[in-house]
Amino acid sequence: MIRYFTEDTTFSLKGKRLISKWLRQVAQDNGHAVGELNYIFCSDPYLLAINQQFLDHDYYTDIITFDNSDDYLLETGKKGVSADIYISVDTVKANGASYGEGFEREMHRVIVHGLLHLVGYDDVTEWKQRRMRAAENRALKRLDAMRAGE
């Protein structure tokens, strides 16, 4: 189950059904299944407080993922992924403009970025960052194709 929430923002994600279908497909493509994913869209101050309280980091970020998966298998036999994924709408908006992606495209990139962490991608080294970016780009192309097929 994939659910979407907001905290301290008026943002509303468009196309939730398609986004959920897309995320389930990305998980499946990576040998996993979605257990329970909660996306919480919030403001910069809200996510900063979470970053300070739980990670002892005193800086703004676009996303924080709390993995709740516990290495369980679903009835399908696939590894299930479950998490609470906090996304700062403010930072995504600024990054989308800065990177020339636009807000919606950057939001989709960040949404799938959280899921990719859960299925085994990391971005702690330059090589892993390139690998993560390639996986994000593949996922975004899949979303584009799904939209075209609607």
C-alpha distances (whole Å) from 31 to each of 71, 78, 129 are 13, 6, 21
The reported pLDDT for the residue numbered 106 is 98
Distance between CA 60 and CA 52 in Å, rounded?
9
Residue with tokens 């996303």: 63
Segments in 88-150 forming alpha helices (H): 89-99, 103-118, 126-148
Q: Any idea which of 19-33, 41-55, 65-79 has the lowest mean pLDDT? A: 65-79
8 Å CB contact between 42 and 89:
yes
pTM attached to this predicted model? 0.93
Q: Nearest Cα to 112, choosing from 5, 33, 25, 14?
A: 25
CB atoms within 10 A of CB 76: 10
Pair of tokens at residue 74: 């679903």
pLDDT in tens, 2-36: 999 999 999 999 999 999 999 999 999 999 999 99
